[in-house]
């Protein structure tokens, strides 16, 4: 074998099961959405959080030093309008992940990819490059392209909901062949047809980088059970979390002989006293970008099937937490809430803050020791 080709085989193998996201912590933690303005808080509430590279590195390195499992971005190509144009300032996530992979040492670094906007050949090559930069601690959050105005920016006709997951399934199958097949091959699918395809080097991650998805519909359930390692959900009751977690884990095991983890998404508002935490949370709501929240709900079609009271409650969730649950209270109370999530079948949570860097430092100092004491972390 020519010397240069030796670099395409056996460079090093990193079993995905040994990577940070797949470790044996009872309750895993990831920092979510800090690559976009507002993160998961759609509000005028005061914060020092800004989308600058200096802050991105600081947040990622804080999470890395504290033992968090992952940093997961949002992929956005335009904001949601309203008063703040929520998420309108946003770093692209492949290059973001490459930069933060080099800036960190232990944490799993993710890209979030809208599958209709990136061809599998290009995505697989970029993913492999970042996988090598990170020494195998890299993964992709797979998004089907739900935000129609963004798809229209790319000149894409929005597929029907279930068809998006059929497209996504073929996209993943193509990417997996690029990551694992030696030599050249043809791919002949419904959505992709390619001749004489080859891809070197291969990822260090074996059998391939970790895959995430946030869908919970019937089509998403099948996609997740078949393809991904971690499904994260914004279900809001312990009963629904337990039922969903049990169902998707059984589906993955019984139909595809696979294991899957389930994580939730949460806004954390943690302060020294309960009164301070509740006041900070209320300020987020009081200064919320209500028109922006309505824009998100309109795209999702929520307002067409809900009562006025339900709409208001959902608007609050899209102001404080991007539709996820809110964990509000003292460090002890937040840990109790994490314990309840664990008891409900959640393997972890992707979390966000109003002020990421400042609150993450507080979280590491005050909350992480209590999580270890509670047996949620070791």
pLDDT at 377: 98
pLDDT category of residue 275 using cuts at 50, 70 and 90: very high
pLDDT at 235: 87
pLDDT at 303: 52
Token pair for residue 228?
Answer: 């991904």
Percent of the chain with pLDDT over 90: 82
Q: Does residue 252 register a pLDDT over 90?
A: yes
Give the C-alpha separation, 130 to 241, whole Å.
33
Domains of the chain: residue spans and CATH: 3-373 (3.20.20.30)
Q: Does residue 304 register a pLDDT over 50?
A: no
- Residue 242 has a CB neighbour count (10 Å cut-off) of 15
Q: What is the pLDDT of residues 132-187, one digit of tens each?
A: 999 999 999 999 988 888 889 999 888 999 999 999 999 999 999 999 998 899 99
In whole angstroms, how far apart are CA 162 and each of 210, 217, 231?
A: 23, 9, 17
In whole angstroms, how far apart are CA 30 and each of 249, 312, 352?
A: 21, 28, 9
Q: What is the pLDDT of residues 176-215, one digit of tens each?
A: 999 999 889 999 999 999 999 999 999 999 889 999 999 8
Q: What is the pLDDT of residues 221-234, one digit of tens each?
A: 999 999 999 999 98
Closest to 102 (Cα-Cα) out of 54, 60, 144: 60
Poorest-confidence range of 1-10, 99-108, 254-263, 282-291?
1-10
Give the C-alpha separation, 363 to 86, whole Å.
25
pTM score: 0.94
- β 185-188/193-197 pair status: antiparallel
Give the C-alpha separation, 341 to 349, whole Å.
9
Q: Does residue 301 register a pLDDT over 90?
A: no
Q: What is the pLDDT of residues 62-80, one digit of tens each?
A: 999 999 999 999 999 999 9
Token pair for residue 146?
Answer: 């739900």
């Amino acid at each position: 074998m020519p010397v240069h080709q030796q670099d395409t085989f056996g460079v090093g193998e990193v079993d995905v099961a040994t990577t940070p996201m797949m470790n044996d912590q009872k309750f895993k933690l990831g920092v979510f959405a800090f690559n976009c303005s507002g993160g998961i808080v759609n509000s005028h509430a005061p914060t020092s959080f800004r989308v600058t590279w200096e802050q991105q590195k600081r947040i990622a390195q804080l999470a890395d030093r504290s033992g968090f499992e992952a940093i997961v971005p949002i992929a956005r190509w335009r904001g949601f309008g309203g008063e703040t144009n929520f998420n309108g300032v946003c770093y692209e996530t492949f290059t973001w992940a490459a930069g933060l992979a080099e800036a960190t040492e232990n944490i799993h670094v993710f890209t979030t990819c809208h599958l209709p906007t990136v061809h599998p050949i290009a995505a697989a090559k970029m993913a492999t490059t970042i996988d090598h930069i990170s020494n195998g601690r890299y993964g992709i959050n797979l998004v089907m392209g739900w935000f129609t105005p963004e798809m229209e920016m790319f000149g894409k006709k929005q597929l029907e909901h279930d068809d998006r997951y059929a497209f996504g399934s073929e996209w993943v199958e193509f990417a997996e062949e690029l990551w694992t097949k030696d030599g050249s091959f043809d791919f002949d699918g419904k959505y992709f047809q390619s001749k004489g395809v080859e891809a070197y080097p291969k990822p260090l991650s074996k059998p391939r980088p970790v895959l995430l998805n946030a869908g919970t519909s019937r089509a998403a359930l099948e996609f997740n059970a078949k393809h991904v390692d971690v499904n994260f959900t914004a279900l809001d009751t312990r009963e629904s979390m337990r039922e969903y977690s049990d169902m998707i884990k059984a589906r993955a095991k019984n139909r595809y002989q696979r294991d899957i983890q389930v994580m939730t998404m949460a806004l954390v508002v943690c302060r020294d006293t309960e009164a301070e935490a509740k006041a900070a949370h209320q300020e987020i709501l009081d200064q919320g970008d209500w028109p922006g929240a309505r824009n998100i709900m309109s795209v999702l079609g929520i307002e067409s099937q809900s009562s006025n009271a339900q709409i208001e409650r959902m608007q609050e969730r899209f102001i404080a937490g991007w539709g996820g649950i809110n964990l509000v209270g003292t460090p002890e109370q937040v840990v109790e809430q994490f314990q309840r999530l664990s008891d409900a079948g959640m393997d972890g949570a992707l979390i966000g803050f109003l002020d990421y860097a400042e609150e993450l430092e507080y979280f590491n100092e005050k909350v992480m020791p209590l999580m270890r004491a509670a047996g949620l972390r070791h």
